[in-house]
């Protein structure tokens, strides 16, 4: 576990990007296609914490990227090679391009300087998208990962970030999955092996330059 000073260096705003994963109306909003996941993101405080982190990143000058999953109404280019994709085709809410389902959900605010990266295929916000070249062009070395779900997209993002050479930071109280007990178990047994695990308050303290916390 890094010291507070090491964490401050790791989260230097000029070389850090905050990634929100699938924090869109059709996933975590009031009309979600996945109401159990949306309820967990809200009741756990994860969605509120993501909004706080986005606001703090804006204030600190860290780049914010919003990764949105969507599909064309005709399904062209989208996967059908896993049960997850086939089940999604039958959901009452579809993540169709151009609809309200693929808008970033409140209370998260999207600033003009934010970058929204949309994908039509796959499971990962990084693989086969513009995220990696964008981060490199921006000079980012650390990727702070938040969002949903802890079951699929979040671990995909973390693994891909590590494989691409970034330092991955996972904000444990700003991600959600189902069932509720799965998220902390997955963080403890999997993500902690490859990423720095932090809390929202720790990230906020670093970006505000305040030593509010003492790390072991």
Mean pLDDT of the chain: 94
pLDDT tens, residue by residue, 146-170? 999 999 999 999 999 999 999 999 9
- What is the model's pLDDT at position 210? 55
pLDDT tens, residue by residue, 78-115? 988 889 889 888 888 999 999 999 999 999 999 999 99
- What is the model's pLDDT at position 115? 98
Helix (H) or strand (E) holding 20, with range, is strand 16-21
Read off the CATH number of the domain in which 36 is found: 3.40.50.850
Could you tell me where the DSSP H helices lie in 18-141?
25-28, 35-43, 46-60, 83-88, 131-138
- What is the model's pLDDT at position 28? 98
pTM for the model stands at: 0.94
- Which of the four pLDDT bands, split at 50, 70 and 90, describes residue 215? very low
Higher pLDDT, 87 or 26: 26
pLDDT tens, residue by residue, 167-214? 999 999 999 999 999 999 999 999 999 999 999 999 999 998 754 444
Other Cβ atoms closer than 10 A to 89: 11
Task: Please state the rounded mean pLDDT for residues 43-69.
Answer: 97
Determine whether 199 is exposed, middle or buried from the number of CB atoms within 10 Å of its CB (0-12, 13-18, 19+): middle
Residues of the chain above pLDDT 90, percent: 86
Other Cβ atoms closer than 10 A to 194: 14
Asked if residue 214 is part of any domain, the answer here is no
Helix (H) or strand (E) holding 19, with range, is strand 16-21
Asked if residue 142 is part of any domain, the answer here is yes
User: Which residues span the domain enclosing 131?
Assistant: 4-207
Other Cβ atoms closer than 10 A to 129: 19
Other Cβ atoms closer than 10 A to 20: 31
- Give the total number of structural domains in the chain: 1
Asked if residue 213 is part of any domain, the answer here is no
- How far, in Å, CA of 142 to CA of 65, rounded? 13
Residue 58, strand partner residues:
none
- The answer to whether residue 32 scores a pLDDT higher than 90 is yes
- How far, in Å, CA of 22 to CA of 154, rounded? 9
Asked if residue 13 is part of any domain, the answer here is yes
Whether 4 and 198 have beta carbons less than 8 Å apart is answered as no
Asked if residue 103 is part of any domain, the answer here is yes
């Amino acid at each position: 576990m890094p010291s507070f000073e090491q964490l401050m260096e790791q989260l230097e705003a000029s070389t850090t990007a905050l990634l929100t994963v699938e924090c869109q109306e059709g996933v975590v909003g009031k009309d979600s296609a996945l109401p159990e996941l949306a309820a967990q993101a809200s009741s756990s405080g994860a969605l509120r914490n993501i909004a706080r982190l986005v606001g703090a990143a804006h204030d600190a000058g860290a780049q914010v990227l919003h990764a949105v999953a969507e599909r064309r109404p005709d399904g062209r280019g989208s996967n059908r090679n896993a049960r997850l994709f086939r089940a999604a085709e039958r959901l009452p809410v579809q993540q169709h391009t151009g609809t309200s389902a693929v808008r970033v959900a409140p209370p998260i605010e999207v600033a003009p300087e934010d970058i929204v990266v949309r994908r039509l295929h796959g499971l990962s916000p990084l693989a086969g998208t513009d995220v990696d070249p964008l981060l490199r062009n921006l000079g980012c070395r650390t990727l702070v990962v938040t969002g949903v779900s802890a079951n699929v997209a979040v671990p995909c993002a973390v693994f891909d970030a590590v494989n691409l050479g970034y330092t991955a930071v996972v904000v444990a109280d700003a991600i959600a999955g189902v069932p509720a007990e799965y998220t902390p178990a997955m963080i403890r047994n999997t993500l902690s092996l490859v990423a720095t695990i932090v809390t929202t308050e720790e990230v906020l303290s670093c970006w505000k330059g305040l030593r509010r916390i003492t790390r072991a």
